[in-house]
Structure 1
């Protein structure tokens, strides 16, 4: 069992193009600065990409249908995506060649790999590749998935996607999607789509030496660093277990808006909770010093999980707050969950005790 990536598309031409070529590239504003600002969406997009590992399942969502792509190719234990050209700091630092270019589909510019979409410059600095199969292109009505998810009395990434173009799927959601796809007899014909892949160019796969966790400037950059490589938080997890990950997972009752979302969630595929819809490990991130508000946020996750799980399931959950440092006093927090919440300092690379 594994996780999934749920990608929304706007038209069938894009869908067929990506299915035929076995890849996907998010349209992103080119970034020619040496380092993105703390407010830039650059690392939020990278954090999405970083959740994929070899074997992660790709699904596309278009006009109330869910289409199957395939299994991610590349790295098994760290983030699996490719650098495409030099329109990002990561691409320039690693002298990445442009092997996928959609300029011919839009309005080209004089800048390599940059084109105009709806009046704005766009590029595709990162590419996810997936292995196609006989199931590639098969589809289901999105309601088929949501009817199945109605059996769970809590929010999940795919049914709280509103306003987002990309989300990770829990192992439970992924398993349900695959089962429905396997039973489907519907399939889109993508054979006539263009082939834009340049196989003669070098395809540079992400590697762990491309990031330095000591230099992060925003919470989203920290989230990318940690999702891309578990080594940075290996003290927080049992490395003998096999985890798959999701990010920005709702852990709350259904709400009209502002549902509580955990930054990083890990699912032990050999000891799943609620068939892989509830995480075994919850990690909340703060880029600087974490205070009692961070602790209370994680306490809210646990309060909700305590209501929907039995005692044995609840016992399997561990929570961590990861930050540079902490300023949390026992007298300012609810102590009920102190045995479930651990504090890990990136500055000292060690756990911190509440006082």
Structure 2
């Protein structure tokens, strides 16, 4: 399973969130009633959540765990109130009874939420970040860039290393509830009582707000919609992917403000074997017309995935560029630019050629209010 690490300010917040079994990011609503890219990026992160993913919390250099996302009603991620995905300032008194998190007017900032339980428990003993990183240096990639982020998603390998570290450190407390944070079912029961289809989290309203005729004004809105589309259409043009992540850092050792991030990263397992990865996904998105520079950019990400994940086997990588359209030069030169030669085996060595980059046009269907995709052949 993958994992999510949520950043908090203090232990009081941690106590309350674990007691409720609900996490929600605070989002300030823009004055012009338009989602900004970071709002759409947060939505994309929530849309990538899957029941069973592990949950951790980070406070002042310490990581606390362990939980997992569960579906209380509908899904493991929801809207806090109907139309919470529309960026308008709501009246708290009129909306309070429909809000899942509703203790104060501040909860109007809680637009998206996820539900979780301890698995096996949230231990009061936090683990120092440096100790975690030193426990398995080769496993941790995203954890090293947690600074200044509200939360991050970690892959199965990184999650397993973190899970093992926290569980081993708390082995003597596994069945001792005195060393666990408390949980109450009250808020989960509230989710059950309030839930209906109006609390469903999807990308539809975000697309509507970002649409201009059949184009989308924000790349981040396309990212959110693409993740939503892939999770719901495993037999669609992009295929099935068991893990999807938004904005993966592909150059983790640069200063934080200059990190190079690929838009969507993912992988799928061999059918029936959840511990063996079959393919890796790389997606670069452009809201307008893509040029040759975009091809060079996505190939940089392909090389990074090959180096960090597939370890020399380019054939494990499937790459896509999603754009409104493509310059003719891109279509003509794709097969020569987006190519890698590599060798596998020793006795005898076998030469291979990778050319698995696909060009996908997007368009916004005004009637269905959804994105549609067409491959450029």
Above 0.5 in TM-score?
Answer: yes
Tell me which residue corresponds to 1:45: 42
Query: How far off its partner does 1:346 sit?
Result: 1.4
Tell me which residue corresponds to 1:146: 133
Query: How far off its partner does 1:10 sit?
Result: 0.7
CA 1:278/1:16 → structure 2, altered by over 3 Å: closer, same or farther?
A: farther
Tell me which residue corresponds to 1:345: 361
Tell me which residue corresponds to 1:119: none
Q: Which moved more, 1:18-27 or 1:249-258?
A: 249-258
- Alpha-carbon distance in structure 2 between the residues aligned to 1:85 and 1:305: 39
Give aligned pairs, total.
326
CA 1:8/1:259 → structure 2, altered by over 3 Å: closer, same or farther?
A: same
Aligned match of 1:63 in 60, 71, 91? 60
Tell me which residue corresponds to 2:347: none
Higher strand share: 2
CA 1:40/1:318 → structure 2, altered by over 3 Å: closer, same or farther?
A: closer
- Alpha-carbon distance in structure 2 between the residues aligned to 1:289 and 1:156: 32
- Alpha-carbon distance in structure 1 between the residues aligned to 2:266 and 2:16: 32
Structure 1: gaps spanning 5 or more residues: 104-112, 116-121
CA 1:91/1:127 → structure 2, altered by over 3 Å: closer, same or farther?
A: farther
CA 1:232/1:324 → structure 2, altered by over 3 Å: closer, same or farther?
A: farther
Q: Is the 8 A contact 2:268 2:280 kept in 1?
A: yes
- Alpha-carbon distance in structure 2 between the residues aligned to 1:194 and 1:75: 11
Map residues 259-338 of structure 1 onto 2, 5 A cutoff.
259-270=259-270, 280-307=280-307, 313-327=313-327, 329=329, 330=332, 334-337=337-340
Tell me which residue corresponds to 2:181: 190
- Alpha-carbon distance in structure 2 between the residues aligned to 1:253 and 1:196: 37
Tell me which residue corresponds to 1:22: 21
Alignment pair present for 1:128 and 2:107: no
Structure 2: gaps spanning 5 or more residues: 89-94, 341-353, 364-371
Q: Which moved more, 1:132-141 or 1:44-53?
A: 132-141
Tell me which residue corresponds to 2:34: 36
CA 1:234/1:264 → structure 2, altered by over 3 Å: closer, same or farther?
A: farther
Tell me which residue corresponds to 2:166: 181
Tell me which residue corresponds to 1:81: 77
- Alpha-carbon distance in structure 1 between the residues aligned to 2:249 and 2:86: 30
Higher helix share: 2
CA 1:346/1:331 → structure 2, altered by over 3 Å: closer, same or farther?
A: closer
- Alpha-carbon distance in structure 2 between the residues aligned to 1:27 and 1:81: 15
Query: How far off its partner does 1:298 sit?
Result: 0.7
- Alpha-carbon distance in structure 2 between the residues aligned to 1:140 and 1:4: 16
- Alpha-carbon distance in structure 2 between the residues aligned to 1:87 and 1:212: 11
Map residues 72-111 of structure 1 onto 2, 5 A cutoff.
72-74=69-71, 80-85=76-81, 88-90=84-86, 97-103=98-104
Tell me which residue corresponds to 1:206: 200
Map residues 216-295 of structure 1 onto 2, 5 A cutoff.
216-230=216-230, 231=232, 234-239=235-240, 243-252=242-251, 254-257=253-256, 258-270=258-270, 280-295=280-295
Query: How far off its partner does 1:236 sit?
Result: 4.0
Larger of the two Rg values belongs to structure: 2
